[in-house]
């Protein structure tokens, strides 16, 4: 019975990942579709490709955080089953209504709600201090980023927009600023890199390729590439006429949307990995099966003070494949909301918003914080709108979105608790 439940949870988790793909596809493609840089079909293929490519870029930091949402020693598989089903129901409902709610928060809310119904509030990891002064974790930190993620996205997109606007002027000062930013970016990325003697398991004999293709380093190389690409454009922006500038911005939108799709895949797929890892850990605790007796395809070890997160390759591959397949299925109702109802988007705004969203996702993933890609890109689009004028943002629509964001975790939690109590009668 326990093993059957585990398989059902894994299947449903991958179905949720697929739904997450088409539910959140609009986050990555809304602006490139709205600005007609790509057709809807081309856009979803583009986004799906980079969703899957994220497998080689990101580690398991966010998966680690999600897996530890509740103490796996104090819950059972029915808890996780109820949480996943609640998340699927809320995701499908909001997709049907065309509301860009957070797939991330509905999953965490569902998991936490069912766990509370089973063992009380103490079973949930509400707040845990970070090691050595690092980023704290827990559900309260995730809740805080409901506000912080869109604010960060809005601030970064606003600053990028101001940077681009000043770079279009024939003045030496924006060019001095841009050159300085390029040097600072190179210095910062170099300081974040892991070199050969720090790599635990080098992938290649070659020192160069081991360092260049280390997942941690690839992420920072991408950050450098994004910033340096925009910087290069800013250095020549003032010498371009309107048609030339528009053509360059449309090409840059391909880069910015690809960067955001990478962040979407890396952030959202890991949440499902965390749920699957938690389910395996609970199965071991409740079934009495020893870790050593598990088949190799279930060799999952949750992170602790002595070891790192460990999971077989098929889990991240399946999760990244499911979200990419979901993205290929599109999500046209939400595309309309994200691409036109918040503020009118041009290629200029698209580059600023997607770049800001991507950078926000990369940095939050670095700190192992599971944020909402929906909230992040929405905040980024609002930040771009603010550079024109406050009234350029359709605040009525934005307030409606905020209500959906705030309600997602509690509604998912209540729904999961109801499902848990119902299942407990029969299972």
Query: Using one digit for the tens of pLDDT, what is the confidence trace for 84-124?
Result: 999 999 988 887 877 767 788 899 999 999 999 999 999 99
252-256, 336-340, 370-374: range with highest mean pLDDT: 252-256
Query: Confidence band (pLDDT; 50, 70, 90) for 133?
Result: low
pTM summary value: 0.85
Q: Are 26 and 357 in contact (CB under 8 A)?
A: no
Mean pLDDT of all residues belonging to the chain = 84
Alpha-carbon gap, residue 37 to 310, rounded angstroms = 40
Phi, psi dihedrals of residue 124, rounded to the nearest 5°: -85, 140
pLDDT the model gives residue 338: 47
Q: Are 254 and 358 in contact (CB under 8 A)?
A: no
Q: Are 49 and 324 in contact (CB under 8 A)?
A: yes
Instruction: Give percent of the chain above pLDDT 90.
Output: 38
Of the candidates 223, 324, 338, the residue with the CA atom closest to the CA atom of residue 272? 324
Q: Which two tokens stand for residue 15?
A: 């179905």
Q: Are 158 and 384 in contact (CB under 8 A)?
A: yes
pLDDT the model gives residue 237: 94
Alpha-carbon gap, residue 260 to 50, rounded angstroms = 9
Neighbouring C-beta atoms of residue 69, cutoff 10 Å:
29
27-83 pLDDT, tens digit each: 667 777 777 788 777 888 888 899 899 888 887 778 888 888 888 888 999 999 999
Residue 301 pLDDT > 80, yes or no? no
Of the candidates 119, 140, 155, 83, the residue with the CA atom closest to the CA atom of residue 414? 83
Of the candidates 357, 222, 255, the residue with the CA atom closest to the CA atom of residue 38? 255
Alpha-carbon gap, residue 262 to 88, rounded angstroms = 23
How many residues are recorded in the chain?
427
Quick one: average pLDDT of 154-179?
94
pLDDT the model gives residue 208: 86
First-last CA distance in the chain:
9
More confident residue, 54 or 22: 54
DSSP SS3 for 339: helix
Residue 104, CB half-sphere, CA atoms under 13 Å: how many? 29
More confident residue, 216 or 164: 164
Quick one: average pLDDT of 241-249?
90
Alpha-carbon gap, residue 405 to 214, rounded angstroms = 35
Of the candidates 22, 28, 19, 21, the residue with the CA atom closest to the CA atom of residue 376? 28
Phi, psi dihedrals of residue 100, rounded to the nearest 5°: -80, 70
Residue 228 pLDDT > 50, yes or no? yes
Quick one: average pLDDT of 172-179?
95
Q: Residue 221, exposed/middle/buried by CB under 10 A (0-12, 13-18, 19+)?
A: middle
Instruction: Please name the residue that has the structure tokens 């986050």.
Output: 27
pLDDT the model gives residue 344: 59
- Alpha helix (H) ranges present in 35-55? 40-53
What distances in angstroms separate CA 25 from CA 71, 106, 235, one per listed residue? 32, 16, 33
């Amino acid at each position: 019975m326990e093993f059957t439940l585990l398989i059902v949870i894994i299947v449903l988790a991958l179905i949720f990942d697929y739904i997450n793909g088409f539910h959140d596809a609009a986050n990555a493609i809304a602006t490139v579709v709205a600005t007609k840089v790509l057709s809807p079909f081309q856009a979803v293929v583009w986004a799906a490709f980079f969703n899957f490519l994220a497998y080689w870029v990101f580690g398991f930091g966010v998966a680690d955080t999600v897996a530890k949402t509740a103490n796996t020693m104090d819950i059972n598989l029915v808890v996780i089953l109820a949480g996943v089903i609640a998340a699927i129901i809320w995701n499908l409902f909001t997709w049907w209504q065309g509301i860009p709610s957070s797939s991330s928060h509905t999953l965490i809310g569902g998991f936490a709600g069912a766990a509370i119904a089973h063992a009380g509030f103490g079973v949930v990891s509400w707040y845990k201090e970070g090691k050595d002064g690092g980023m704290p974790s827990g559900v309260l930190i995730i809740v805080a980023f409901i506000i912080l993620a869109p604010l960060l996205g809005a601030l970064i997109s606003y600053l990028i927009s101001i940077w681009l606007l000043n770079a279009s002027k024939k003045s030496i000062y924006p060019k001095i600023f841009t050159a300085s930013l390029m040097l600072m970016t190179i210095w910062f990325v170099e300081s974040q890199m892991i070199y050969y003697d720090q790599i635990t398991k080098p992938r290649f004999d070659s020192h160069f390729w081991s360092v260049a293709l280390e997942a941690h380093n690839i992420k920072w190389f991408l950050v450098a590439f994004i910033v340096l690409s925009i910087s290069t454009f800013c250095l020549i922006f003032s010498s371009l006429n309107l048609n030339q500038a528009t053509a360059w911005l449309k090409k840059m939108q391909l880069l910015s949307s690809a960067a955001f799709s990478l962040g979407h895949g890396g952030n959202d797929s890991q949440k499902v990995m965390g749920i699957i890892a938690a389910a395996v850990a609970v199965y071991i605790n409740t079934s009495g099966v020893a870790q050593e007796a598990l088949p190799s395809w279930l060799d999952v070890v949750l992170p602790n003070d002595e070891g790192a997160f460990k999971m077989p390759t098929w889990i991240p591959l399946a999760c990244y494949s499911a979200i990419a397949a979901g993205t290929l299925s599109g999500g046209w109702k939400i595309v309309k909301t994200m691409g036109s109802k918040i503020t009118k988007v041009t290629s200029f705004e698209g580059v600023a918003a997607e770049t800001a969203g991507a950078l926000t996702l990369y940095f939050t993933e670095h700190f192992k914080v599971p944020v909402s890609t929906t909230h992040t890109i929405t905040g980024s689009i609002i930040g771009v709108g603010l550079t024109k004028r406050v009234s350029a943002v359709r605040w009525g629509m934005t307030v409606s979105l905020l209500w959906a964001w705030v309600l997602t975790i509690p509604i998912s939690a209540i729904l999961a608790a109801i499902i848990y109590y119902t299942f407990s009668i029969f299972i």
